[in-house]
Structure 1
Amino acid sequence: MSLADKAKNAAEDLAGKAKEAVGKVTGDEDLKAEGQTDQSKSDLKQAGEKVKDAFKK
């Protein structure tokens, strides 16, 4: 996993957490769900990168 990919995934995760928090505070269920979706995407990408790294060794 390259450093750039890690940074992108971390940024996506943080953005998702921020969206989810704003959605909770404002009562916007759509924004909250979008934030959770962004976090899930980031988790999947990180898992995929870890699998790639495991096969490189």
Structure 2
Amino acid sequence: MWTFTPTTHGVLVHTEESWTGAPVEANQAALQVALDNSPHNWVNNLKRQAEASK
């Protein structure tokens, strides 16, 4: 889930993500790394696109 809240300095982006199910339970360590990196990657890509649109 993503929420975007306008502020006086720009936009605050909040994201939450979770993964469940057999594939996650079978390989928790590797998928935890992917889950931890996913929001950072999405926000960096969002920032890059927003700045390119200026």
TM-score by length of 1: 0.48
Q: Return the structure number with greater strand share.
A: 2
TM-score by length of 2: 0.50
Larger radius of gyration: 2
Higher relative contact order (CA 8 A, sep 6+): 1
